[in-house]
Amino acid sequence: MKLLSSCKYLCLAACLTFICPGCKKFLEVDPPKTQLVSTEVFKTDEGANAAVLGIYSAMSSGSTALSNGALTVYQGLAADELVGFSSDKETLQFYNNKLLTNNSIVTANWNKTYQILLQTNICIEGMTASTGLSAAVKKRLIAETRVCRALQNFYLINLWGAVPLVTTSDWNQNKQLLRTPVDAVYALITQDLEEAAANLSSSYPDEERLHPNKYAALALLARVYLYRGMWDKAEAAANQVIVSGLYTPLPALSEVFLKNNTEAIWQLQPINSQYQDTYEGSVFIPAYPGANPQYYLTDHILEAFEQNDQRKTDWINSTVFQNHTYYYPYKYKIGYQATDQPEYYTVLRAAETYLIRAEARAQQNNIAGATEDLSVVRERAGLNPITLPGKEQMLDAISHERQVEFFAEWGHRWFDLIRTGKADAVLAGVKSNWSSTAKLLPVPQSNINFNNQLTQNPGY
Amino acid sequence: MQNYALKKGMGWRCQPKKIPLIMKVVIIIISVFLLQSSAVFAQQLTYQKKQASLEEVFKEIRKQTGFNVFYSDNKINDQQKLDVDFKNAGIKTVLEKCLPPFSLEYTIDHKNIIIKAKPAKGTTSLADTNIVNIHATVTNELRIPLAGVTVRARYKAFSAMVVTNDGGEFHLDVDKRASIIFSYVGYVTREIQLVPSTAEMLKLIQLEPDNAKLDEVQVIAYGVTTKRLTTGNISTVTADEIARQPAANILQALQGRVPGLALTQLTGYMSGNYNVTIRGANNLPVSKGNNLPLGRVVSDPLFVVDGIPLTIGSNDPNGYGMDQNGLLGPAEGQSPLAWINPSDIESISVLKDADATAIYGSRAANGVVLITTKAPKTGKAQLDVSTYTGLSLQTKKLPLLNTTQYLAMRREAFKNDGVEPDADMAYDLLSWDNNRYTDWQKKLLNTATTNDLQLGLTGGNLATSFRINGSYHRETPPFPGKFAEDRITTALTLNHSEFNQKLKFSLMVNLSGNNSNLPQSDPTSLIFLAPNAPQLYNAAGKLNYAEYLTGQFPAQIAALERPYRSDTKNLASNLNINYTVIEGLKISIAAGYNLGIQNQTQLIPGASQDPLGTINRQAIFGDNNVKTWLVEPTVNWSYSLKAGTIEAMAGATFQNSVVDGNLITGNGYLSDQLLESRAAAATFNNAVSNYAQTKVQSVFARLSYNLYNKYIVTVNARRDGSSRFGPGNQFGNFGSLGAAWIFSEEEAVKKFLPMLSFGKLRGSYGITGGDALGDYSYLSLLGIGYNTYQGQPVFVPTQAANPNYKWTVNKKLDISVDLGFLNDRLTLSASFYRNRSGNQLVNYPLVAITGYPSVVNNLGASVQNKGWEFSLSSRNIAGKAFSWTTAANFSMTRNKLLAFPGLETSSYVNVFTIGQPISRTELFHYTGMDPATGHYMIADKDNDGVISYQKDQNYYNSMPSFTGGIDNNLQFGNFSLQFFFVFTKQMGMENTFNINPGAPNTNQTTAVLNRWQKPGDQAAITGFSNFYREDIDYFLQSDALWVNASYVRLQNASLSYRISGLKGKTKYFPNTTISLQGQNLVTFSPYKGTDPANPTTALVLPPRRIVSAKVQFIF
């Protein structure tokens, strides 16, 4: 009897066993404990802020990014500023202006820039859709993100020409994108910066200058207008920054790259694993006294400095290696020794804004105004003001001033040579294999491999 | 979709915890057992019936007490009835009341009641004179008693059955004219006719091991079968074959033994990983990032150890084994099977076709490997001690330049370059001793050691038996320094049965600890140091930074002082309970738990850093955990229908796996001594955390019908649910149909083909699936970034979401024929298979402009693997004194991309071509040397004047044309010799060339001596130069280096001598076996690189040659 009843239980158990898969609850899993679903992130001010900080962090940390030293080093090599000490073949490709389409540095810079753009698009979409954010934070963070997006897009088109323009985080939509004309990319850059300038306040959210404020948007906008030859707008934007009074007077040369110095309009906190501060500092300053420099300055740039230019003594240092003196950039003065971070990457600084306004004024034949702006920068370097008779001489002087003010800094020299049309003339003189097509970097082959429709730049 | 996930997450937190349904089921099943036990364990009988027959009483005794009742039908008068009325009466009481009226008496032996006729006093009936009492011992061929042997006596309708006790003894009263049949798993069933046998012959009965492969037990999914009756394609490797190899990893022991199983040992490290594919790669490669070519092809089979599937899923497509945090060490990750002691393994079944694998449903697309640990042996406790010590040797030495040749090469480079040697570029010429010569291969890859110790005890009786085994295995890599890897394992198996084997418990617990202490990166490539390079260490025993320029000190030398340590603990436990409800109906429940914990440290002591630079002592800490539990209730039912048997099995799976990984770097230590302390770090950074939970819930069933042992049909079905998929896509159905026709059973075949002792035609078709790709891929996720910013944690995108992906579907077809000749002395199997893997679930590589490296996605692509497999086994000579057996296998697989709608617009547009293999390498075509410059010339395929990776490369099939193995076993008295060759025909990349010959501090093979020297020369190698050129890059990725990498390898050989144990009063000597064993002994190959078996990778420590001496004692 008992056996029979046992059998019943068994059958019941068996039945239950097989019914069970009908209920799908078992398959519910804990959400991943180390990550958050994206909609969850943008529900709170803290989450949105952390996502925007993620953009800055990406710009300054990890593998090579344009904004954490790559522009300085690689465009410095490509222009007439730097020589690499080692015979690393990929670095040499920059120096020789003979980049291969699989150059891993080019690829990494391109990839990282688009990763940052993805972050900006996720943030803009997430914050725009969110209803949980406080209005002020939402407005500020969206505007900051737009400045970041504009900066990435600005460097993309200036390095590669027409590039695919991403405006969404949807991979399915982005994966087939083709090149967007430079004008269309500039349109978005201008729109981003104008809206950001309108929505950002003139103060920084904290005591540091790590979040772009209204003037960061304007300073970048001024640069965009300058590059586009829209002199009046460039002057107007630069003017707003200068008259704000926040960034003047220019501090001493030795302070320009310290964190939170008065000239800094927007800085990035260096994020590195190895007790180094900025990448520039760690890569230019020899590892120990007597060590070889990894990169050193060309005679070409050394000769460009005028007599008594204090930038040559304050921003350049030298080392003797095997009886040969090498000069290296010394704008960032901290190599590996830092126990804290006295220096920050300086994205935008007021000297540039002065020189933008000077150039815009000169282009509009306001030579006196240009001279005034030029003098601000020259005076800080211990040089006398110069008076020049005409527009062309003035433009040449500004161009020269930019060369010595911004040497080995964010690729300014490279971009200036190209935008002013002097690249072929200047670089053909110093580089043995210069070809005009080297002004644009190759689109990384890996990208073309994914999409046959994506065209390569000429010459590659 | 995202909303759903959100709700789900909330729901999980807000709901009160309920007892999961699965727990309820378990509770119910266990209660049923307990209920039963309380009713019957008392060995008492409650039975009331008028006019009951004696048989009915016996039946009731069996039911209620679990005792067996043996009796002879013809001795019981079934006409005679009696009234019974027992209430909780003891067995003896019942028997003593019931038997006398029938003139019967009884004896109780263990749980057997034997009923016999009461001898009539003073009279001798004819019948009684025929009864003899047999008392004998059953042993194996080594005269070790066998417990649990079934002994049946058969005479006309009379049948009695007993089983041998712990000492192998049994008592049986039988009719003289009967024959006695002895049967025991793994031994040939023996039948002895009593009549001609003498008493002496009946004292000791020896059983011979069953070497007939056809009836050998093969482990299959949720059961066992035999090669004779299976409808699926299964290859089994046994403990014997494993024991002959001094292999640390069971995968190494499988190499070449299973047709269709391709195994590549990736490194020579003990814990190192293997690439495993069964019947070709089914999946398009996993993306490694944005750089094509893509990463590895993930076609790993499902590994199941004692019924518990191993969780080796990883979030990181480059992660291997249990590693979840990306800290892989020099061995590039740890093999997920590194924790298993090969000596604990009884058999490994490789399930290949749909019939064998479909019951594993969604995880079976790439085949299944079932690993079964050794079961206890009943009988007298047997102590097994064995140990081996071996040398691990370099298999192949590259012919590198000596100092004179090297320096001449360097001088010629400067001459060619037109550059004056200076201290910067020519430090090897100017600063280093030009007379110094170091054979770096000898220095770095010299002899190392391997040691193994096994200690096992097994024994028990029919009711309770056990096996315990402890082992220690240690291998050292050959590099200078105190590096070693070791493994300690303990294994326990406990079996217990109740109610005359009706209720069985089995518990397996395996605990294993693996320690690796290795340099942080593989130092093997240091063999290319200049032969006059400074010693690695200076006189003070410190790293020799001083003789190198800043930044030129090779990182791999520094790595020798930067240890990578991993300490892995693995607990695998499995409880099985099964209960035979009635004859033919069995229910069982398996519950398994697997816990893996790995702690890693990677240290960068100050002593390993350039003393002139800034010292930052650093330590990286990694932790990985893998936890899996599994509950599988199953019901088995077998039933005789007409002349056939129906076997049905159904069950359910509930599985929960959690994997997590953490990584953090500590900086700013004050002392090298403190590096292993997390507390001593000044700051931490680079933190990584990974977590994933996966649940699987399935129901499955198998139904097979065997008619006349001639026609067999099997149907498998599984409905699988997996949490790896997004809502709505979690469930999938899989199944197979298999059939076999044993035509040798047909009368016509028997008559006309008497040579053919066995012939079977079998085929199967079915659908299996694959879900082996990351977790939570349906969610758009942001994770914590690698670094803080302004002191705050930041969010960064970690995963592109795709809510729509579904299972990979793999359709498998298999047709095989199995033949046995001359009483199965020669058996032959041939299989044809065709697997089509469609709806490919891949980590779809995304173009970099999306910002994501990849997204989990399905492709319309269909990959076909098609091939033939043959295996043969032959007992060439089967004498008592000398025997010789041969086993051979041969397989060939062809794979191709069958279809790929939308290939033109997909990320794979430049990678795959429809109709071409997916296992392939892209290479330039080398057209020769420009005699004027000595530069390499590459074919400009599209004639656009530019060499481009995109347009000018051709594809070369990297899949072997065929592979196979031949194993020979010779037995000569107490000597046995076994040797096993494997062979492969394939092409591969020669990886012996370094960048530009002539580069500073970079040695080359002597092949570079055939170089271009002056305009007009035609040579194989370009002129020496300090400088790198594009054409060298192209050359190194060209078909100039695409060479024949075929090989024949003496994979394994063993010679052993057995000394039979002596047991005397004065001396005692255990059964002893002494062996010499070798692994990876000799390789014949035209290939010039280090290891033809892995002719693609960059230079890593190649698999080592192991030569060992082993001694085994069985007490």
Whether B1026 shows a pLDDT value over 90: the answer reads: no
Whether B33 shows a pLDDT value over 50: the answer reads: no
Choose the weakest-confidence range: A240-244, B143-147, B791-795: B143-147
Is A84 inside any structural domain? yes
Measured CA to CA, the distance from residue B711 to residue B155 in angstroms comes to 31
Structure confidence at residue A4 (pLDDT)? 46
Phi/psi of residue A11, nearest 5 degrees: -60, -40
Q: Of the candidates B283, B215, B274, which has an alpha carbon nearest to the alpha carbon of residue B247?
A: B274
Structure confidence at residue A126 (pLDDT)? 94
Structure confidence at residue B23 (pLDDT)? 53
How does residue B622 score in pLDDT terms, banded at 50, 70 and 90? very high
Is A358 inside any structural domain? no
- A338 vs B: CB within 8 A: no
Measured CA to CA, the distance from residue A194 to residue A190 in angstroms comes to 6
Find chain A residues with C-beta within 8 A of B290's C-beta.
Answer: 107, 111, 444, 446-447
- B670 vs A: CB within 8 A: no
Cβ(B478)–Cβ(B442) below 8 Å: no
How far does B844 lie from chain A, in Å, by closest CA?
A: 11
Structure confidence at residue B316 (pLDDT)? 46
Phi/psi of residue A211, nearest 5 degrees: -105, 130
Choose the weakest-confidence range: A261-270, B860-869, B941-950: B941-950
Nearest chain A residue to B686 by CA distance is A273
Nearest chain A residue to B294 by CA distance is A446
Pairing of strands A316-321, B936-938: unpaired
Cβ of B846 within 8 Å of Cβ of A176? The answer is no
Tell me the percentage of chain B whose pLDDT exceeds 70.
89
Structure-block tokens of residue B1079: 């692994």
- A63 vs B: CB within 8 A: no
Whether B978 shows a pLDDT value over 90: the answer reads: yes
How does residue B675 score in pLDDT terms, banded at 50, 70 and 90? very high
Q: What letter does residue B729 receive in the DSSP assignment? A: -
Structure confidence at residue B208 (pLDDT)? 78
Measured CA to CA, the distance from residue B186 to residue B557 in angstroms comes to 54
Q: Of the candidates B771, B695, B727, B692, which has an alpha carbon nearest to the alpha carbon of residue B6?
A: B727
How does residue B16 score in pLDDT terms, banded at 50, 70 and 90? very low
How many CB atoms sit inside 10 A of residue A153's CB? 24
How does residue B37 score in pLDDT terms, banded at 50, 70 and 90? very low
Q: What is the mean pLDDT of chain B?
A: 83
How many CB atoms sit inside 10 A of residue B1065's CB? 5
Cβ of A57 within 8 Å of Cβ of B789? The answer is yes
Residue-wise pLDDT for A283-294, tens only, equals: 899 877 777 889
Structure-block tokens of residue B767: 């659908």
Domain of A64: which CATH number?
A: 1.25.40.390
Measured CA to CA, the distance from residue A159 to residue A441 in angstroms comes to 6
Buried b (16+ CB within 10 A) or exposed e, B549-561: bbeebbebbbbbb
Measured CA to CA, the distance from residue B474 to residue B449 in angstroms comes to 8
Structure confidence at residue B40 (pLDDT)? 39
Decide: helix, strand or coil at residue B343: helix
Choose the weakest-confidence range: A43-57, B355-369, B956-970: B355-369
How far does B562 lie from chain A, in Å, by closest CA?
A: 16
Choose the weakest-confidence range: B181-190, B708-717, B776-785: B181-190
Q: Which of A2, A18, A27 is the best residue to mutate to test the B interface, defined by the most B CB atoms within 10 Å of its own CB?
A: A27
Structure confidence at residue A260 (pLDDT)? 92
Structure confidence at residue B298 (pLDDT)? 60
Structure confidence at residue B703 (pLDDT)? 93
Measured CA to CA, the distance from residue B656 to residue B850 in angstroms comes to 34
pTM to 2 decimals?
A: 0.79
| Selected residues 610-639 of chain B with any CB under 8 Å from a CB in chain A | 610, 612-614, 616, 633, 635
Measured CA to CA, the distance from residue B451 to residue B476 in angstroms comes to 9
Cβ(A150)–Cβ(A192) below 8 Å: yes
How does residue A95 score in pLDDT terms, banded at 50, 70 and 90? very high
Whether A217 shows a pLDDT value over 80: the answer reads: yes
Find chain B residues with C-beta within 8 A of A38's C-beta.
Answer: 2, 780-782, 797
- Find which of A183-192, B524-533, B741-750 is predicted with most confidence, using mean pLDDT: A183-192
Is A196 inside any structural domain? no
Residue-wise pLDDT for B950-975, tens only, equals: 678 888 888 899 999 999 999 898 89
Q: Which of B694, B850, B1037 is the best residue to mutate to test the A interface, defined by the most A CB atoms within 10 Å of its own CB?
A: B850
Tally of domains within chain A: 1
Q: Which of A2, A10, A11, A35 is the best residue to mutate to test the B interface, defined by the most B CB atoms within 10 Å of its own CB?
A: A35
Structure-block tokens of residue B447: 């002899």
Cβ of A35 within 8 Å of Cβ of B782? The answer is yes
Whether B216 shows a pLDDT value over 80: the answer reads: no
Q: Of the candidates B811, B806, B737, which has an alpha carbon nearest to the alpha carbon of residue B768?
A: B811
Residue-wise pLDDT for A64-90, tens only, equals: 788 889 999 999 999 999 999 877 788
- The CA-based angle B708-B714-B717, given to 5 degrees, is 160
Phi/psi of residue A137, nearest 5 degrees: -65, -45
Structure confidence at residue B78 (pLDDT)? 67
How far does B289 lie from chain A, in Å, by closest CA?
A: 10
Whether B1072 shows a pLDDT value over 80: the answer reads: yes
Give A29 or B933, the one with higher predicted confidence: B933
| Selected residues 67-86 of chain A with any CB under 8 Å from a CB in chain B | 86
- B640 vs A: CB within 8 A: no
Q: What is the DSSP string of B772-798?
A: -S-SSTTS-EEEE-SS-BTTB--EEEE
Decide: helix, strand or coil at residue A399: helix
Mean pLDDT on A375-404: 93
Structure confidence at residue B317 (pLDDT)? 45
Measured CA to CA, the distance from residue B1022 to residue B1003 in angstroms comes to 15
Whether B749 shows a pLDDT value over 60: the answer reads: yes
Find chain A residues with C-beta within 8 A of B784's C-beta.
Answer: 34-35
How does residue B853 score in pLDDT terms, banded at 50, 70 and 90? confident
Structure confidence at residue B13 (pLDDT)? 38
Q: Of the candidates B690, B671, B631, B816, which has an alpha carbon nearest to the alpha carbon of residue B741?
A: B816
How far does B6 lie from chain A, in Å, by closest CA?
A: 8
Structure confidence at residue B131 (pLDDT)? 74
Nearest chain A residue to B1026 by CA distance is A87
How far does A242 lie from chain B, in Å, by closest CA?
A: 27
Q: Which of B615, B657, B789 is the best residue to mutate to test the A interface, defined by the most A CB atoms within 10 Å of its own CB?
A: B789
Supply the range of the domain harboring residue A41.
1-180+421-460
How does residue A8 score in pLDDT terms, banded at 50, 70 and 90? low
Tell me the percentage of chain B whose pLDDT exceeds 90.
31
Is A103 inside any structural domain? yes
Choose the weakest-confidence range: B139-153, B228-242, B353-367: B139-153
Give B151 or A330, the one with higher predicted confidence: A330
How far does B8 lie from chain A, in Å, by closest CA?
A: 8
Find chain B residues with C-beta within 8 A of A30's C-beta.
Answer: 12, 693
Measured CA to CA, the distance from residue A232 to residue A221 in angstroms comes to 12
Measured CA to CA, the distance from residue B915 to residue B934 in angstroms comes to 38
Whether A204 shows a pLDDT value over 70: the answer reads: yes
How far does A123 lie from chain B, in Å, by closest CA?
A: 10
Whether A2 shows a pLDDT value over 70: the answer reads: no
Cβ(B419)–Cβ(B426) below 8 Å: no
How does residue A238 score in pLDDT terms, banded at 50, 70 and 90? very high
Contacts of range B167-171, beta carbons closer than 8 Å, 24 or more positions apart:
B167/B137, B167/B379, B167/B380, B168/B137, B168/B138, B168/B139, B168/B379, B169/B135, B169/B136, B169/B137, B169/B138, B169/B145, B170/B134, B170/B135, B170/B136, B170/B138, B171/B109, B171/B133, B171/B134, B171/B135
Find chain B residues with C-beta within 8 A of A24's C-beta.
Answer: 721, 730
Structure confidence at residue B290 (pLDDT)? 37
Mean pLDDT on A82-106: 88
Is A144 inside any structural domain? yes
Whether A133 shows a pLDDT value over 60: the answer reads: yes
Find chain A residues with C-beta within 8 A of B587's C-beta.
Answer: 10, 14
Cβ of A39 within 8 Å of Cβ of B789? The answer is no
| Selected residues 546-585 of chain B with any CB under 8 Å from a CB in chain A | 549-551, 581
Residue-wise pLDDT for B879-906, tens only, equals: 778 889 999 999 999 989 999 888 887 7
Is A139 inside any structural domain? yes
Q: Which of A2, A449, A456, A457 is the best residue to mutate to test the B interface, defined by the most B CB atoms within 10 Å of its own CB?
A: A449
Whether A298 shows a pLDDT value over 90: the answer reads: yes
- B31 vs A: CB within 8 A: yes
Mean pLDDT on A330-339: 79
Measured CA to CA, the distance from residue B851 to residue A111 in angstroms comes to 7
Q: What is the DSSP string of A73-132?
A: IIIHHHTTSEEESS--HHHHHHHTT---TT-HHHHHHHHHHHHHHHHHHHHHHHHHH-SS
Mean pLDDT on A408-416: 95
Whether B751 shows a pLDDT value over 80: the answer reads: yes
Whether B940 shows a pLDDT value over 90: the answer reads: no
- A2 vs B: CB within 8 A: yes
Is A413 inside any structural domain? no
Structure confidence at residue A315 (pLDDT)? 96
Looking at the DSSP bridge assignments, the partners of residue A345 are: A268
- Which residues are CB-contacts of B656 (< 8 A; sequence separation ≥ 6)? B628, B629, B630, B693, B694, B695
Is A169 inside any structural domain? yes
Whether B552 shows a pLDDT value over 70: the answer reads: yes
Structure confidence at residue A28 (pLDDT)? 82
Cβ of A30 within 8 Å of Cβ of B693? The answer is yes
Cis status of the peptide bond prior to B293, with omega within 30 of 0 = yes
Detail the DSSP E strand segments found in B394-461: 448-460
Structure-block tokens of residue A375: 């003098």
- B909 vs A: CB within 8 A: yes
Find chain B residues with C-beta within 8 A of A20's C-beta.
Answer: 21-22, 25, 652, 697
Nearest chain B residue to A6 by CA distance is B32
Measured CA to CA, the distance from residue B336 to residue B274 in angstroms comes to 9
